[in-house]
Amino acid sequence: MKQSGVVVIGGGHAGIEAALASARMGVPTTLITMDPSKIGEMSCNPSIGGVGKGQLVKEVDALGGEMGKTADFTGIQFKRLNSKKGSAVRSSRCQSDKKLYALRMQKVVAEQPGLRVLTGEVKEIRTQGSSVQGVSVALPSGGLEWLPAEAVVVTSGTFMKALMHCGESKNEGGRFGEKSALGLSDSLKDLGFHLLRLKTGTPPRLLRGSIDFSKMERHPGDPEPRRFSFWDTRIELPQVDCFLTYSNAATHDTIRENLARSPLYSGEIRGIGPRYCPSIEDKVVKFPQKERHPLFFEPEALDSDWIYPNGISTSLPASVQEAFVRTLPGCERAEFARFGYAVEYDCIDPRQLSLSFEAKHLTGLFLAGQVNGTSGYEEAAVQGLIAGINAALKVKEAPPFTLSRAESYLGVLIDDLSTHGITEPYRMFTSRAEFRLSLREDNADLRLTPYGKALGLIGDDEYHRFQTRAEKIEKSRALLDQGTIKPSESLDRDLAALGSSPLEQAQFASQLLRRPEIGLDDLLGWFPLPWELDPETAETLEVEVKYAGYIALQRDEIARLRKMQGLSIPASLDYQRIAGLSFEVREKLTKAKPGTLADASTIPGITPAALTAVLFHLRQNEGLSAHRKV
Amino acid sequence: MAVVDRKSLSFEDTIFALASGPLPSAVAIYRVSGRGALPWASKHFLASSGSKVDARGMFYGALIDAAGQEVDQVLLLSFLGPHSFTGENVVEVQCHGSLAVAEKLERLFLAQGLRPAVRGEFSYRAFHYGKMDLGGMAKLGDVFAARSGHDLERVYQRRDAALQSEVSKVREHLVRLQAILDTAVDFSEEYASVVESAKSPLVHARDLCRAVAGRYEVFKQGGQTPRLVLAGAPNAGKSSLFNALLCRYRAIVNAEPGTTRDAIEEDVEINGRRWKLVDTAGFRDAGSETEKQGIDLGADYLESASFWVLVVDGTVGLTDAEAHLLKAYGDLPHLVVWNKRDLPGFCSSDVADAETSALDSESVQELSLLLSKRALPPPEASRALPTSFQAKRLLTAATALDSLLADLSNGVVPEVLGEANRMVLRQVESVVGDVGVEEVLDRVFAEFCIGK
């Protein structure tokens, strides 16, 4: 191993995971932040997880990351989404106590052996030839410190050339009350990165005491909260409610009248915002037929007066924000703790990164998180984790660690970013994953924990626990597949009560479970297993048995994909010679030089017909060469 | 048809097959392909010119057995690879189409280690050696299936663009369906009820898949060949016209009224369109019981006619029975023909669309031209024709959509529906393009059963 180790720039959700992973893999690591008290800050909504995002948190956890653990210890409301009977894409979400979340992360970072926190601002990333040498840091004392490093992980979030908009006023800065990192953007540009300009926003914060919650719908958490982590965590904080209210005609009128004062519509903001998390201005303009929009009021922390009104992200001027918020039921006398704002920032084109998040053109330079054009804490955390792991592997002179689309949401995210790039801030959806029935929250450990163990991020005790669980699932599965249930009057009565038809003849237990109206709980009433199942294990078992057919089909599809990956395209292939390709397709293929047919299939605009033409061309050449031997 | 496992077939083998029709016949044509083709010819063929068969060409000479005995006088053609149909060396033997000669010849092939080809193997080799692509194979298969000039035209003028626009409509529906289902999963808190709107795109996509695929089925089976019915009074000359249109002698023609006691049906191609031409018994009060049945049958045929021709004896003029027919079936597309133009006593009429004589081939020709002008082809025939490959995929998609619809009404969760729909989408996308690597070859062999 080399000497100087890994430097991580930034202490947000990506930076934390990167620094912890690297240090836990035994590589000396330095985390540089402009303000250590902001490490682990939840700068926008006070929640972790959600549909698609919960899966990411579970995957981070299964690989030995920190986000799920901290979410469990600091969660004040837990909810599983899509959890009705038969669901295969259940997703976890929690409201976190923002203050405690950041405090716990700061504690974990501080206590991590081999990890040093340095306060300062990175002025330059220095390279020699095409490899990274280290960074120079401006210290609060005014001096400049030179930090040599074999690998540098940049997780600078929304801070590059950040510009905050609130109505007509503009301020430089990445977050409310925080500085913007001006130098870093230029440094990356000098290093050959293409920069894109994006936009995001945050809603105002309201004071709890000024809101009349009796005029809103109460939204409690699940009666039996489920943890994120597969490991040793507890939900120990008191659980609280959220509240739901709706916008109305008066809200929409107020916004419409003042649209010209929104920097989004006056042309001040040029960055591209996310479609899935639109500002309230966008919602009103783009969905004029919708009479109301749901707004969720979430507490920011147990001992905080701040309420986060989810759904009214805005950059309208303060006075307009006051006017439209006060049209909401329960908010007639709402007081503002802070006004909403939009922020424009630079990000890099993630197509310049390899699957390990290392820059393709600069050895040892890794980028992770919002700087790559993503949005969300969870998306940031997974990138941080993978970049941190690979930075450490780089120092250890070991081959990179990457994941495929077929085995994880992580792989989907990595592949989407590095192959397709972004057109708006990238957020995870389950629909991005081709194999979402196989990539579930409940089996994240089965898919990924062995990797975590091999990397040194999962301890022996944890791994033993994982193995016990995996065995139990396998044995239970075998019992359900081989054990039979015989028809009986009492069974038919039970079945009728569930709206299910009577049993005609003896059936394997697993077959009965495949009926949509029957759950594992019901089945175990007639076919008890010789051991107890914890809820997580029961969930894995239920989905695996119920959707075995689909899961098997997905496995076939994955195999097909692998086969395509096995069909290599010679680099010398002249696409001009292939008949039946359009000019555009030829250009794209010539430029991208895909190594395999599978790579070619992921290039946007490459039609299946074009792939076939390439395949035939290759086959024909094979055939002709075979003929010469005849 | 049994599906042959192509992996069990070796390209090392030299294969042979009878390329011409059933024996006995005037001439039988055998084709041989593979590395053993030329050595076989040099052993069993003696060109009368004395030249050796080692170049591309046509040779006349004797087929001889192992003992040097002459079996038959044959023509032998040799095509050297790669400029042959299969891309390999190919030898064609044209012998007399006697069963005895054929049997001896086949024994001579087998004795030299040649083996009979399985169905489609020649084409498969052509595909393997890059002589023909998948589109070419599909086309060849459909050329064999074509039943009329119009069918052939549809095959040769098949344009992907027309089909592509229909498939992209299906795709749009499916993508919309996928979007609805994914919304229900990814945004369940706000949009759980959106699933209800999934039915409409699903049904649209399914019906369109079926409609397009159905076109190939109709094409392949010759479909419901439309009926062209000849009707008229007894002895108006329907059977003579029928025979003239068929260009061969089929119906019994007799000067005595009421000769055709049954309706007679024959397939005929008139200017590129396929018809079932029906000759009916004459319409009048039936003289005998058999004839009555024939007449009833004729009426049944008229009920189901796509087009009918009223044949009137031009020397007699419109009878009451014929006037009655015109009244009853005048709404159906039809022509009125004044027949027996060649006879004295023939009088023209304003009612007639054409004047004919079965003995005058020019007048029959004019009648067939008029027929093709008046009888418009069904709209279906002018739409894009999918290949068997494409039709099969569309049908599979439609079937999958049927069960998806059932699952949807049974309340199956949207993520599982979405999974099924994703597979349908892939299926549909592959209609106008990509086909899985191995799948291509397996399908080629199983589907393109195009003779040898």
A-facing residues of B in 102-161 (CB < 8 A) are: 128-130, 133-134
Q: For A421-463, what is each residue's pLDDT tens digit?
A: 888 889 998 888 888 899 999 999 999 999 999 999 999 999 9
Give CA–CA dist B242/B368, Å, rounded: 11
A241 neighbors A220 (Cβ within 8 angstroms): yes
> Which site among B159, B437, B439 would you substitute to test the A interface, given the most A Cβ atoms closer than 10 Å to its Cβ?
B437
Give CA–CA dist A308/B6, Å, rounded: 65
β-pairing, A29-33 vs A115-119, is: parallel
Q: Check residue B436 and give its pLDDT.
A: 39
Calculate what percentage of chain A has a pLDDT beyond 90.
Answer: 65
A178 neighbors A36 (Cβ within 8 angstroms): no
A616 near B CB under 8 A: yes
Residue count of chain B, please give it: 452
Nearest-5° angle of CA A235, CA A236, CA A238? Answer: 105
User: Which is nearest to A124 in space by CA: A148, A100, A92, A157?
Assistant: A148
Give CA–CA dist B340/B349, Å, rounded: 13
Q: For A531-554, what is each residue's pLDDT tens digit?
A: 999 988 999 999 999 999 888 888
Binning pLDDT at 50, 70 and 90, where does residue A601 land? Answer: confident
Question: Which pair of tokens denotes residue B211?
Answer: 């409609």
User: A3-17, A26-40, A389-403, B215-229 — which is least confidently predicted?
Assistant: B215-229
Q: Check residue A599 and give its pLDDT.
A: 78
Of A391 and A613, which is predicted with more confidence?
A391
Q: Where are the beta strands (DSSP E) in B129-271?
A: 227-231, 264-270
Helices (H), B341-413: 361-374, 388-409
Give CA–CA dist A113/A126, Å, rounded: 27
Q: Check residue A278 and give its pLDDT.
A: 79
Q: What are phi and psi of A378, to 5 degrees?
A: -70, -45
Q: Where are the beta strands (DSSP E) in A375-495?
A: 484-485
Give CA–CA dist B377/A68, Å, rounded: 68
Q: Check residue B452 and give its pLDDT.
A: 31
Give CA–CA dist A6/B11, Å, rounded: 58
Q: Do A436 and B415 touch (CB under 8 A)?
A: yes
Q: Which of B190, B413, B422 sits opposite A88 (nearest CB)?
A: B413
A-facing residues of B in 400-429 (CB < 8 A) are: 410-413, 415-416, 418-420, 422-423, 429
pLDDT, one tens digit for every residue, chain B (452 residues): 344 566 677 888 999 999 988 888 899 999 999 999 999 999 999 999 988 888 889 999 999 999 999 999 999 999 998 889 999 999 999 999 999 999 999 999 999 999 998 877 888 888 778 777 666 666 777 777 676 777 777 776 666 667 878 888 898 898 888 888 888 888 877 777 778 889 999 999 999 999 999 888 877 766 567 788 888 888 888 888 888 888 754 555 555 555 555 677 888 878 777 788 888 876 665 555 555 554 555 677 788 788 899 999 999 888 888 888 888 888 888 899 999 988 888 888 888 888 988 888 888 888 888 887 887 666 555 677 887 778 888 999 999 999 999 999 888 888 899 888 988 888 887 776 544 334 444 444 444 333 33
End-to-end CA distance of chain B: 15
A547 near B CB under 8 A: yes
Cα distances (angstroms) measured from residue A260 to each of A256, A268, A385, A421: 9, 11, 42, 32
- Tell me whether 0.95 is exceeded by the ipTM: no
Q: Where are the beta strands (DSSP E) in B290-375?
A: 307-313, 334-339, 354-355
Q: Do A627 and B88 touch (CB under 8 A)?
A: yes
Question: Which pair of tokens denotes residue A577?
Answer: 């010679």
β-pairing, A195-202 vs A205-207, is: unpaired
Of A68 and B135, which is predicted with more confidence?
A68
Q: Do A607 and B434 touch (CB under 8 A)?
A: yes
Strand partners for B165: none
Q: Check residue A391 and give its pLDDT.
A: 98
Q: Which of B185, B416, B436 sits opposite A51 (nearest CB)?
A: B185
Q: Check residue A629 and give its pLDDT.
A: 29
Q: For A309-363, what is each residue's pLDDT tens digit?
A: 999 999 899 999 999 999 999 999 999 999 999 888 889 999 999 999 999 999 9
Give CA–CA dist B227/B388, Å, rounded: 26
Q: For A201-243, what is each residue's pLDDT tens digit?
A: 889 999 999 999 999 999 999 999 999 999 999 999 999 999 9
B-facing residues of A in 43-82 (CB < 8 A) are: 51-52, 81-82
User: What average pLDDT does chain A have?
Assistant: 89
End-to-end CA distance of chain A: 55
Give CA–CA dist A101/A30, Å, rounded: 21
Q: Do B35 and A630 touch (CB under 8 A)?
A: yes
> Which site among B434, B440, B444 would you substitute to test the A interface, given the most A Cβ atoms closer than 10 Å to its Cβ?
B434
Contacting residues for B243 by C-beta, under 8 A, at least 6 apart: B249, B250, B251, B253, B358
User: Which is nearest to B117 in space by CA: B40, B6, B1, B42?
Assistant: B6
A615 near B CB under 8 A: yes
Contacting residues for B161 by C-beta, under 8 A, at least 6 apart: none
- Cα atoms in the 13 Å half-sphere on the side-chain side of A477: 17
Q: How many CB atoms lie within 10 A of CB B271?
A: 14
Contacting residues for A326 by C-beta, under 8 A, at least 6 apart: A332, A333, A334
A246 near B CB under 8 A: no
A193 neighbors A291 (Cβ within 8 angstroms): no
Binning pLDDT at 50, 70 and 90, where does residue A579 land? Answer: low
Cα distances (angstroms) measured from residue A76 to each of A37, A96, A142, A204, A348: 22, 6, 41, 21, 35
Residue count of chain A, please give it: 630
| Closest residue in A to B183 (Cα–Cα) | A431
Strand partners for B273: B270
> Which site among B132, B409, B419, B430 would you substitute to test the A interface, given the most A Cβ atoms closer than 10 Å to its Cβ?
B419
Nearest-5° angle of CA A365, CA A369, CA A371? Answer: 70
A58 neighbors A407 (Cβ within 8 angstroms): no
> Does A18 have pLDDT greater than 70?
yes
User: What average pLDDT does chain B have?
Assistant: 80
β-pairing, A151-154 vs A336-338, is: unpaired
What is the amino acid identity at position A435? F
Q: What are phi and psi of A382, to 5 degrees?
A: -65, -40
